[in-house]
């Protein structure tokens, strides 16, 4: 008995669907034993241990900027997640896995290789913005342009899609983790204080904003003094964070405009009519949609299911694979890659 799975392999999270049902949504993190390099914890338990583990363990994020950075750990993680998603089914599923647009063939092959070695029977790769478009319900049948912006943790994918094919696309290596890094850098230089990834992400979610807030918000940030190495706590405002991350927000905005500049006028006309479709975890940054609308001059539509939009789009493909007939999509095995 065979089954099909869809995998949204993200820098921060891995989401797996079986058909249209989401069966797994876990951080892309593995806690490894140092002495024998074996996996100890996966997902949420491993993510919560980042920065808190004793020397016998190390927390590894095997997906960086949407591609595999640590092959062995990525294979461990995928095997665990695929086995969980398959449940008690004794099967090697066909797998459709998302990837950033414009990645190299070597990077794409690495993803196919890891997924098949982790238990996949054959693998089909699909660009994240194409899957996101399907997850948002964009019609692939008519010759009408649509632009999808998927702002994740590691990459920002901008793609103009018409009839299920990519007209123009760009994958920018700037996204949510760069916002976190900008906050860490700001706290170090302005307050002489070191903070960790969890604290930076907490600050981003609590007071981070792409545009100044009409009502100022203040939170307390805790870290370590650079000078003394002792615990330190300071109050930080939302508008300070807005200023700290402004460069990252601007680079994301510029990437969208650059793609539009290269897009045929007929498709730009369609986009101006329908708007920009925005998804991905970082799309929820306060004021992001308002900033993009003002900067580019086109209305912005944010996905309701922003965290699982790509996975749900893959779920649609699993049930109606012919929807991708206008693109070069097919299931491949390692043997196919060797022959190719």
Q: What does the pLDDT look like over 216-249, one tens digit per residue?
A: 899 999 999 999 999 999 999 999 999 999 999 9
Greatest alpha-carbon pair distance for the chain in Å reads 63
**Centroid of chain to Cα 95:** 18
Rounded to the nearest integer, the mean pLDDT of the chain is 90
- pLDDT (tens digit, 9 = 90+) per residue, 182-209? 999 999 999 999 999 899 999 999 999 9
pLDDT at 169 over 90: no
Q: CATH for 4-130+310-339? A: 3.30.420.40
Mean pLDDT on 67-75: 95
Instruction: Give domain limits for the chain.
Output: 4-130+310-339, 140-174+247-306, 176-246
At 338 the pLDDT is: 57
Q: How far apart are CA 128 and CA 131, in angstroms?
A: 5
Q: CATH for 140-174+247-306? A: 3.30.420.40
- Of residues 91 and 233, more confidence is placed in 233
The model carries a pTM of 0.90
pLDDT bracket for residue 142 (50, 70, 90) = confident
- pLDDT (tens digit, 9 = 90+) per residue, 267-302? 999 999 999 999 999 999 999 999 999 999 999 999
Is 8 within 8 Å of 128 (Cβ atoms)? yes
pLDDT at 116 over 90: yes
End-to-end alpha-carbon separation of the chain, Å?
A: 29
Mean pLDDT on 325-333: 76
Domain 176-246 has CATH 3.40.50.2000: no
Alpha carbon distances (Å) from 80 to 48, 76, 120: 18, 6, 12
pLDDT at 261 over 70: yes
User: What length does the chain have?
Assistant: 340
Provide the 3-class DSSP secondary structure of residue 179.
Answer: helix
Cα dihedral across residues 101, 102, 105, 111: positive or negative: negative
At 257 the pLDDT is: 93
**Identical fold between 4-130+310-339 and 140-174+247-306:** yes
pLDDT bracket for residue 335 (50, 70, 90) = low
Tokens for 5, please give them.
Answer: 């799975």
DSSP states of 94-151 as a string? EEEEEE-TT--HHHHHHHHHHHHHTT-SEEEEEEHHHHHHHHTT--SSSS--EEEEEE
Percent of the chain past pLDDT 70, that is, above it, reads 96
- pLDDT (tens digit, 9 = 90+) per residue, 47-56? 988 888 888 9
Percent of the chain past pLDDT 90, that is, above it, reads 73
At 1 the pLDDT is: 45
CA angle 29, 39, 63 (to 5 degrees): 30
- Phi/psi for 186 (5° steps) reads -65, -45
Half-sphere exposure of 118 (CA within 13 A, CB side): 28
Alpha carbon distances (Å) from 91 to 98, 164, 217: 21, 31, 52
Mean pLDDT on 158-175: 88
């Amino acid at each position: 008995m065979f089954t099909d799975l869809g995998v949204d392999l993200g820098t921060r999270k891995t989401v797996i669907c079986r058909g249209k049902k989401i069966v797994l949504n876990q951080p892309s993190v593995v806690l490894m034993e140092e002495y024998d390099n074996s996996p100890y914890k996966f997902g949420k338990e491993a993510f919560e241990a980042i920065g808190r583990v004793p020397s016998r363990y190390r927390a590894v994020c095997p997906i960086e900027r949407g591609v595999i950075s640590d092959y062995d750990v990525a294979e461990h993680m995928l095997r665990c997640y695929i086995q969980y998603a398959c449940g008690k089914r004794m099967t090697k599923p066909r797998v459709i896995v998302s990837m950033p647009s414009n990645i190299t063939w070597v990077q794409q092959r690495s993803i196919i290789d890891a997924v098949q070695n982790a238990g996949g029977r054959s693998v089909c790769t699909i660009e994240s913005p194409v899957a996101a478009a399907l997850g948002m319900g964009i019609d692939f049948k008519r010759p009408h342009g649509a632009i999808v912006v998927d702002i994740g943790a590691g990459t920002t994918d901008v793609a103009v899609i018409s009839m299920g094919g990519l007209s123009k696309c760009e994958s920018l290596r700037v996204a949510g983790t760069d916002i976190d890094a900008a906050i860490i850098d700001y706290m170090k230089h302005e307050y002489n204080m070191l903070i960790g990834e969890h604290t930076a992400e907490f600050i981003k979610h609590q007071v981070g904003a792409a545009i100044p807030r009409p009502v100022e918000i203040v939170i307390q940030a805790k870290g370590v003094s650079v000078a003394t190495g002792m615990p330190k706590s300071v109050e930080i405002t939302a508008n300070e964070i807005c200023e700290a991350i402004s460069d990252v927000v601007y680079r994301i905005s510029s990437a969208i405009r650059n793609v539009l500049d290269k897009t045929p006028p007929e498709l730009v006309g369609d986009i101006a009519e329908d708007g920009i479709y925005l998804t991905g975890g970082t799309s929820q940054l306060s004021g992001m949609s308002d900033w993009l609308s003002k900067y580019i001059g086109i209305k912005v539509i944010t996905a309701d299911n922003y965290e699982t939009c790509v996975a749900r789009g893959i779920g649609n493909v699993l049930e109606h694979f012919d929807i991708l007939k206008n693109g070069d999509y097919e299931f491949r095995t390692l043997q196919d890659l060797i022959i190719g």
